[in-house]
Structure 1
C-alpha cells in the first residue's frame, strides 16, 4: 500500500526501506520514485538545472516577476483605472464602508440600470487601503499589483511542486513562465487587473488548503477522508471570497473538486469503474463535492439576487458576436475566440488593451479559413483528453487532466457559453487560465527531456530559458505601453487600426489635451469604421460646435438616432438650438436629457439659464437649486447659482453663493471675479480690489486687469489704472479693448493728444470697433473738435445699431451736445429727443431737449421736458434758471397776446 506524504518519498531500488528525503542522482538513466496522492510513479531526471530546494527556485521566480514589472511602477492611472479608482467615491475613506458592499466595481449602485453588475467589494477594499496611505498617487497602486503578482507566481510554483510535479526544476520552469508571460501585463500594469491577481491568489490558496485538509494517508477504499475539517472550511470560504474579488474566481471550487476526483481519489474512482458499482466508501468524496456544489449554488443565487436577475446593459460594440442574428455566426465566432485566446498564450506577440468591435471579424461562413484553426484546436483538446483518460498513466495523466481543467474551467465564464459578456477578448481574463497553459507546456517539455539524452535535454532546457527571456523582454516592452493614457491609446490604434473603439479612446485623449485637429481625425476614423457609434458622433460634434454649428447639430442628431438614451447628445443638441434661438426645441432637448439622467447637473443649469432668458425666473430657480442639491461638493454649481441670482438683482444672496463656492474651491478665479462684481454693485470697493488682486496673483488675466483698471479709473486713481493697463498691454500688445481703455486713462490725466494718437492707431487696425469711436468722440468733444466728434459718434451708432438703450441714449445725448455747440439746433433737438425716448430718466437730456424747444419757441414742449427734468433733479440750478426764463417768456407772450386782443 503506497503512502501519501507531503514530502516526496523516495524508494531505493535495492531495498524496501523508506527514506523521507528526496535522493538526487546524476545522469539521465538514474531513476527516482515519487509518491503522489496514493500512487507511485517512476520518473527520470527532468530539466538540466542545478539541484536546489524549491524555496531557492521560488526566490528566483519572485525576482523574475519583480524584474519584469519594475518599469510599471512609474505608470499612471489609465483607461479603466480612472473610473474604478479616480472617479469612484467608494475608494475614498470619507465614503461609508457599507457602500463598498452595495455598489458595483465602478461605484454605481447594483440596482442602478446603468450598473455594470460587476460585484467585487474585496478588490475595492484594497484600493481603499491604497488611497488611505497614498491618495491617488499611482505608485502605491502599481507597487501593490507587482507585489501581489510576485506572491502569486511564487505560490503557483510551490503549489504545482507540492500537488502535481513533485520536481523543483519543472515547477521552477512553470513558475518562470507564469511570472514573465506577457499576457499578464494588462492584469499587473493595469491597476484594475488587481481583481484578477487577487482572485488567482485566493484560487491557489483554496486549492492548497483543500488538499492539505484531506488525509495524506492512503486508505483501502481509495477515498481519503477529510482529516482537517476546519482547514477544509477555510478553503471553501476562500473559494467563496474569490468570487467577491472577481467573478470567475469562484471556479476554484470546481477545480478543487476535479483535483479531488482526478488525483486524490484516483484509485477509488478507478475501482468504482471497474466494479461498476458505488459503495459507501466514496462518501468522503461525495461530502466534499457536495460542499463545493452547495457553496457554488449559494454564491450563484446571491449573485443573481445582487443583480436583481438582470444582466448588465452591454451593446453590440462591446461584444458584436453575441448580437449576431445568425446562430451559426455566433457558434463559429465564439469557437474561434477560444482558439484566439489560446493563441495569445502560445504566441503573445500582438497584444492590445482593447479587442472590441471589428478587432476580430465575425466568422460568418463555414468556408471561412479560420474554421480550420478552430477544428484543429478542438481536435487537439479532444486528443489530449483521450490521451489523459485512456492512455496516459500516473503523473502524465494527472498533469494533462489538471492542465486542461485549470486552462478551461476558469475561462468558461468569459466564453459566452452561459451568458453574454461585455468584451470580445480580455487579456487579463487569461491570468488564471494561463496556469493551465504553463502546466501543459512544462509537462510536455519535461516528457521530452525524459525521453532524450542529456545533450538534447540541455538544449531543451536552454530553449525554454530562452523563451522565458523572450517573454520577460516582451513584458518589459509591453509595460511601457501602460505608462500613460497617450501611450496606451496610441498603441491600440497602431496594433488594431481596424478597431473603432481604439480610435475613439485615442480621440478622447487628444480632445482632453486640446489636440483638436488630431482628435477630429480619429473621431472621423471611428465613424468611418463604425457609423453607428453614438458617443463618437456626440464628441466630434462638441469639437465642431463653434465653427460648424450645423454640422455639429447633425452629429448630435445622429448620436440620438443611434442611441436615444444618450443624455449628453440631447444636452449638446439643446445648446446648439439655444444658440440658434430655437428656444422651444432647446427646452425640449434639455428636458429630455434630464428625463434620461435626472442627476445631470449641467443640464439643470443650462435649462435654468434658458428659462431665465425666456423670462421664467421662478422655474429657472428650481433647476439651479436642483443642480446645487445634486452636486453639493461641486464649486461650479454654486458659482452658477450665484450668477443666476446676480441676473435677477439678488446681489446679497449671490454674494453668499459665491463665498460658498470659494469655501469649496479657494482658487476658483471665476467665482472671485463674480464676487468682486457683486460686491462692487453693493458698494464694497475695498474688498473688490482685494479680490481682483487675489485673482491676478493666481493668473495674469488681462480681463481681470481691465476690471481692476476700470475700478481705479472710477475711484479717481488714474495713475494706478495707467500702470495696470501698461502691464496688460505688455501681455496682449494687440488688444484693442485694453488700448481703448488705456487711452481713456491717458485722457483723464490730461494728455489728450496721446490719447487721440492711441485711439487712431486702434481704429487704423480695427476701423469697425465701436468702443474706440465712442472714446475718441468724447475726447474730441472735450477739446472742442465737435465736427470730428460727430463723425465718430455717428460711426459708433451705425456700427452697433443693437446697442443697449442706456448706452445708445448716452451717445445720442452727446451727439445732441455737439450739434448744439455747432449751432445746429434742429439736429440737436432730434438727437436729444431720441435720447429721451430711450432713457426718460436722463434729467440732463430732458433739460437740454426742453432748452432746444425753448430756443425754437415751442414753449409748451419746453415746459413738458423742464418739468420732467425737475422731477428727476429738482436741485439743478441751470434747470431752475431755465424754468424762470421760460416763465418770464410765457408771461411776456401772454401780455402781448392780451394787448393785441384789446387793440
Structure 2
C-alpha cells in the first residue's frame, strides 16, 4: 500500500516492498449489470460498454489505437507495475483489454490546470493517492498546491448503491508537476467500471512504448497502478522568488564571512608570513619571476635540498607574487584576498551541498553558514600563509563539482552511468591538480570523487528519499514477473541528485526494508548494504559489465594521479618529506577535509534530530543552533585580534599554553627582536625549565647575556646538546674572536659553515676575520664561496663590496653594492655605502642621489649623517644644518650627531649656541676629546685664546693613544700661542707636533714663519723647504719663500754696502 508521509516531513511517499490489493466492501454486482447511479442523483447512468471516470462524468471517447489513460490490463492480486508514459497519448503496444463483461472502461480527462511557459522536457513523478470509497459517491481529482508543485490526486471510480456494493475507486496517483498537468492513474474496480485518468491537455513529449494506463480489473479486484511519466511542460522548480532567495542566502553568507574576518584586514605579516613572503627569495619585492618557483618549496628553498620542508605549493607562491606586483608589500591587500577567497569557498560549499549532499536547500545553507563563522578557520583566513588552505579548498570543491557534472545524470539501464562530458572530467583533473599545487592535501579530491561516485550510485531502492515509486511491470495473472524496470534519475525542486534510486542493480536486490525519510545524506547504511550485497552476490555475473563506466573513470583518475605524484617525487629529488608539525606548522591546518566534513555531519545530525522531536523540541534545537552560530561568530572575531601582530599572537600562545616550551621560545624571540631583553631572558629560561634540552633557547640566551663567561657557557651547553648547531658555533666563534683567540674562532666559524652552508653570516664573519689578519686571498675565497652558496644574500654582497673597497677595488665593489640593492630594494646600508664610494671617487651628485634613495627607504640618523657631511664639505651649510638638526632630533642621545651640529653652527657663526651645545656634551662625558678641540676652535673664533689654551691642555691630559691626534693637539696649541704672540712657546708646540707626525706640513711652515719673523732666515728656509716637499703646490709657501729671497737679497746688499 502507499502510505501518506508523516506530519511535518516532506511530502514524499514511502512505499512498501509489495503493494496491497484494495479491499472490497459488501457483495459485488453481477457482471455486465449497469452500475448504480451516483449519490445525489445528479450523475448520469453509464451506458453499456461505457463507464464513469474518476470525477463521475461521462468517459471520454477512446482514441484509435491507444489504450485509454484511465484503464489498465488486469493484474494478479497485489501486483503493481511501472509504466513509462508521456503526457501526450500515443498508440499502445498490444491489443486493448476489456474489463468485466461489459466492454472497455474509459475514464474522462481530468480538468486542466494552468501551466507556465514551456521549458525542456523533464521527468515527472507520480505519487499514489487514495480514491474515494463510499456508497455511490465518486471523489474527483482533488487538487493541492504544496511547495510550489501542482499535485493531483486521481479519484476513485463510481460507487455502488450502499456499503455492500463495492465502489470502483482504487488508488489513483498524485503527480508532481513541473509545468502543465496530468490526471491521476485510475484504480481498478470490482467487476465494474474502474476509475480513469486523463493525460494533460498541454502534453508535448510522446509516450515511451505507448500509453498503457492502468485500467479496471475483474475477479478479486485489480490493484491500482502507478506510472512514471516523462515529458510534459516544465515549471519552475521552486516557489516564485526562489532566485531572490538564493541571492539573499549568498549575500547573507558573504556578509557573515566579511563580518567575522573584517578585523583581520588590519593585520601585519606574522609568524610564517615573514618566512614565506618577506624573506622568501621567490616572492620578495624586486625578485624576478623565475622558473625556480616550480622547483623550490613554499619557503624558497630547493625541493631537492636536504633542508627543504618539501612543501610544494608553486601556485600559492604565484598568488603572493601577484599581490606584490599589484599592491606592493602592503599586508592589507594580502588579507583582503584571503577574506574574499573565504567568501567564495563558503558560497561554493553551499552550492555543492545543495547539488550533491542535501535535498533541502536550507540544510545546505546551514552547513555553509556554520563553515563561514567557525573559529577553527581563523588561522587559515587571518594568517596570510593560510591562503594555501583557502585556495586549495576552493579548487577542491570546484574539482568535485566538475567530476559530478561529468557523469550522466539521466542515464537509465545500468548501475553506473557513463561519462556524459569528457570536458568536465578533464576539467576536474585539471582543477584537482591545481588544488594539489596550491597545497599538498588537495590531491585528496580525486579519492573523494571516486568514493562518492561508487557509494552514491549504490544508494538505490529508497523510495522514501525522493518520491519515485518503483514497481514491476504489469503481468498476466499467473505469469512470471521479470526484474523491475529502472526509472529515470529524478529531479526534485529543480536540482539533480547523484543518488539515482533504481529498481534493480545488475539483478541484485537488497533484502533490507525501505528506510524512513531522511535529509538525503549519501552513504546511508542501506546504500552501503546494497552495494556490498551486489559486490558479493555470486548470481550477479554481469556486475563487471555494469561497472565498466565507473572502472574507466577510476582507471583514468588513478593513472593520472600516479603520474602526478611521480612528478612531485622527481621534483623533491627522490626523497619523501620528513618534516613534522613542529618544523612546518603551516602544513597542518585543518581546513579542507575535516572542517567541511564536520559541518556536513553536524547539520545532517541536526536534521535527523529534528525529525525525532516534537514541535517544541525542534524549536528549542533551532534556537540552540542559532545561539551556537552567534557564539562561533563572536569567537572568530576575538581570534582575529590575536593574528593582528606578532606580539598578540605569541602572547596569546603563552596565555593559552603556559606549559608549552615552544610558545615561550617564540615569544622570547619576538621580545629579543624588539629589544626587550629582560623579558626575553625570562621566557628563554622558562622554555629551558619546561624543556632543558632546547639547544636554540640556550644559544639565544647566550646572545643576550652581557657576561662573556656566562655566554660562553650557554654556547657550550647548546653544542653539547647539538654539536652541529651552526648558530651556536657561529656565536661562540665571534665571542672568541672578540677575545683575540682568532685561530680558535676561525676553526669554529669553518665548522659553522660546514654544518650550515647556507648561513651567510658565517661567511662574512670568517672573511672579515681573515682580512684583519691580512690574509686577503683566503678572505676573498670565503666571500666567493659564500656568494656561490648564498646567491640571494644581500648582506653578503654588501660586505664583499666593503672588502673590495678596503683592498683597492672600488669598481668591483660598485657591482656588488648594486646587486645587494637588487636583491633587497630596501637595503639602505648598501645604498649608503654606494654613496660613500661615489663620494670618495669625487662624484658628489651620484653620492647625493644614493643618500636620498636610502632616505626614501628609511629616515634614519645613520643615513642623514653622511648626507649632512656631504653638504658641509661642499659648503652647503644651510642644508647641512637642516639635515643635522633632523638627525639629532631622531637620536638625541648620539654624541657624534650633536657634535657635528655644533660644528656646523660654529662655522655659520652661531658660536654661542655651538658653545652651549658642546659644553653640554662635555658635562655628560668629560672624556670627549673632540669636544675640547671644537671648544678650542669656538673660543679661538671668539678670540678667547686663554680659554682655548685651557681646553687644549685638558685634551692633552686625556693622553690619546693615536700620535696623529696628539700631533694635531700640539699644532692647535701652537696656533693659540702664536695668536698671543708667544712665539717661542708656539715654536716648541709646533716642534712637538712634527716630532709626532713628520708629515704635518702646516707645522713645518709655521715653524719657518716664526724663524722668518725672528730673522733666522736660514732656519726659516730649511723649514719652508721641508714643508714644500710635503705640499709642493702650496702658494703660501712659495710666497713665503719669495719674501725670504727678497729679504736675503736686501740683506746681502746691505752687507755689501757696509763692506764697501
TM range (shorter): 0.5 to 0.7
Give the number of the structure whose residues are more often helix, by fraction. Answer: 1
**Structure 1 match to 2:592:** 431
Give 1:643 shift. Answer: 3.8
Mapped partners of 1:614, 1:104: distance in 2:
40
Q: Secondary structure of the residue that 2:589 maps to in structure 1?
A: helix
**Structure 1 match to 2:77:** none
Whether the 8 Å CA contact 1:2–1:218 is kept in 2: the answer is: no
**Structure 2 match to 1:808:** 966
- Call closer, same or farther: CA 1:21–1:515 in 2, change over 3 Å: farther
Whether the 8 Å CA contact 2:127–2:176 is kept in 1: the answer is: no
- Call closer, same or farther: CA 1:726–1:8 in 2, change over 3 Å: same
1:581-730 to structure 2, matched below 5 A, reads 581-623=740-782, 640-648=799-807
Whether the 8 Å CA contact 1:538–1:559 is kept in 2: the answer is: yes
**Structure 2 match to 1:896:** none
Note if 1:261 corresponds to 2:523: no
- Call closer, same or farther: CA 1:19–1:838 in 2, change over 3 Å: farther
- Call closer, same or farther: CA 1:754–1:561 in 2, change over 3 Å: same
Give 1:687 shift. Answer: 7.8
**Structure 1 match to 2:736:** 577
The Cα offsets for residues 803-862 of structure 1, whole Å up to 9 and x where unpaired, read as 2x3223334566789999999999999987765554333457679999999xxxxxxx99
Q: Secondary structure of the residue that 1:118 maps to in structure 2?
A: coil
Whether the 8 Å CA contact 2:286–2:822 is kept in 1: the answer is: no
**Structure 2 match to 1:184:** 377
Mapped partners of 2:599, 2:881: distance in 1:
77
Mapped partners of 1:870, 1:645: distance in 2:
34
Mapped partners of 1:229, 1:724: distance in 2:
70
Report the more deviating stretch, 680-689 or 578-587: 680-689
Note if 1:157 corresponds to 2:347: no
Q: Secondary structure of the residue that 1:11 maps to in structure 2?
A: strand
The Cα offsets for residues 49-103 of structure 1, whole Å up to 9 and x where unpaired, read as x999877656644544344333334434332233333433444796446333222
Give 1:449 shift. Answer: 1.9
Give 1:151 shift. Answer: 3.2
- Call closer, same or farther: CA 1:240–1:12 in 2, change over 3 Å: farther
Note if 1:272 corresponds to 2:534: yes
**Structure 2 match to 1:769:** 928
1:311-460 to structure 2, matched below 5 A, reads 311-312=576-577, 314=579, 318-319=580-581, 422=584, 428-460=589-621
Give 1:532 shift. Answer: 3.5
Q: Secondary structure of the residue that 1:179 maps to in structure 2?
A: helix
Q: Secondary structure of the residue that 1:444 maps to in structure 2?
A: helix
- Call closer, same or farther: CA 1:19–1:162 in 2, change over 3 Å: farther
Given the two structures, how large is their TM-score scaled by the length of structure 1?
0.67
Note if 1:499 corresponds to 2:764: no
Mapped partners of 1:750, 1:52: distance in 2:
80
**Structure 2 match to 1:294:** 559
- Call closer, same or farther: CA 1:870–1:100 in 2, change over 3 Å: closer
Whether the 8 Å CA contact 2:327–2:333 is kept in 1: the answer is: yes
**Structure 1 match to 2:575:** 310
Unaligned runs of 5+ in 1: 24-34, 36-49, 320-355, 357-420, 854-860, 887-903
Q: Could you tell me which of 821, 840, 846 is aligned with 2:998? A: 840
Mapped partners of 1:213, 1:709: distance in 2:
71
- Call closer, same or farther: CA 1:16–1:812 in 2, change over 3 Å: farther
- Call closer, same or farther: CA 1:614–1:472 in 2, change over 3 Å: same
Whether the 8 Å CA contact 1:54–1:158 is kept in 2: the answer is: no
- Call closer, same or farther: CA 1:591–1:173 in 2, change over 3 Å: same
Mapped partners of 1:94, 1:645: distance in 2:
25
**Structure 2 match to 1:893:** none
Give 1:104 shift. Answer: 1.7
Mapped partners of 2:898, 2:978: distance in 1:
30
The Cα offsets for residues 227-278 of structure 1, whole Å up to 9 and x where unpaired, read as 5455444434444443223222222333333333333135553443563466
Mapped partners of 1:715, 1:218: distance in 2:
89
The Cα offsets for residues 287-333 of structure 1, whole Å up to 9 and x where unpaired, read as 4444444344334433333323324453xxx55xxxxxxxxxxxxxx
Aligned length: 749
Q: Secondary structure of the residue that 2:376 maps to in structure 1?
A: helix
**Structure 1 match to 2:211:** none
- Call closer, same or farther: CA 1:567–1:8 in 2, change over 3 Å: farther
Report the more deviating stretch, 605-614 or 777-786: 777-786
Note if 1:11 corresponds to 2:103: no
Given the two structures, how large is their TM-score scaled by the length of structure 2?
0.58
- Call closer, same or farther: CA 1:475–1:753 in 2, change over 3 Å: closer
Note if 1:72 corresponds to 2:230: no
The Cα offsets for residues 577-598 of structure 1, whole Å up to 9 and x where unpaired, read as 3333332233334433444444
Mapped partners of 2:666, 2:638: distance in 1:
21
Mapped partners of 1:451, 1:3: distance in 2:
35
- Call closer, same or farther: CA 1:183–1:719 in 2, change over 3 Å: closer
Whether the 8 Å CA contact 1:243–1:249 is kept in 2: the answer is: yes
**Structure 2 match to 1:486:** 647
Mapped partners of 1:78, 1:704: distance in 2:
28
Whether the 8 Å CA contact 1:863–1:883 is kept in 2: the answer is: no
**Structure 1 match to 2:443:** 250
Whether the 8 Å CA contact 1:240–1:295 is kept in 2: the answer is: no
Whether the 8 Å CA contact 2:286–2:825 is kept in 1: the answer is: no
Whether the 8 Å CA contact 2:719–2:725 is kept in 1: the answer is: yes
- Call closer, same or farther: CA 1:58–1:876 in 2, change over 3 Å: closer
Mapped partners of 1:715, 1:216: distance in 2:
84
- Call closer, same or farther: CA 1:457–1:779 in 2, change over 3 Å: closer
- Call closer, same or farther: CA 1:686–1:451 in 2, change over 3 Å: closer
Give 1:114 shift. Answer: 1.8
- Call closer, same or farther: CA 1:656–1:192 in 2, change over 3 Å: closer
**Structure 2 match to 1:387:** none
Mapped partners of 2:868, 2:348: distance in 1:
70
The Cα offsets for residues 433-471 of structure 1, whole Å up to 9 and x where unpaired, read as 223223332333222222232222222222223222222
The Cα offsets for residues 584-634 of structure 1, whole Å up to 9 and x where unpaired, read as 233334433444444544444443433332223344445556677788888
Q: Could you tell me which of 322, 333, 336 is aligned with 1:143? A: 336
- Call closer, same or farther: CA 1:293–1:666 in 2, change over 3 Å: closer
Mapped partners of 2:561, 2:933: distance in 1:
82
Larger Rg: 2
Give 1:500 shift. Answer: 2.6
Q: Could you tell me which of 799, 809, 820 is aligned with 2:958? A: 799
1:33-182 to structure 2, matched below 5 A, reads 60-91=252-283, 95-96=288-289, 98-182=291-375
Give 1:185 shift. Answer: 1.9
**Structure 2 match to 1:474:** 635
- Call closer, same or farther: CA 1:227–1:683 in 2, change over 3 Å: closer
- Call closer, same or farther: CA 1:515–1:58 in 2, change over 3 Å: same
- Call closer, same or farther: CA 1:190–1:833 in 2, change over 3 Å: same
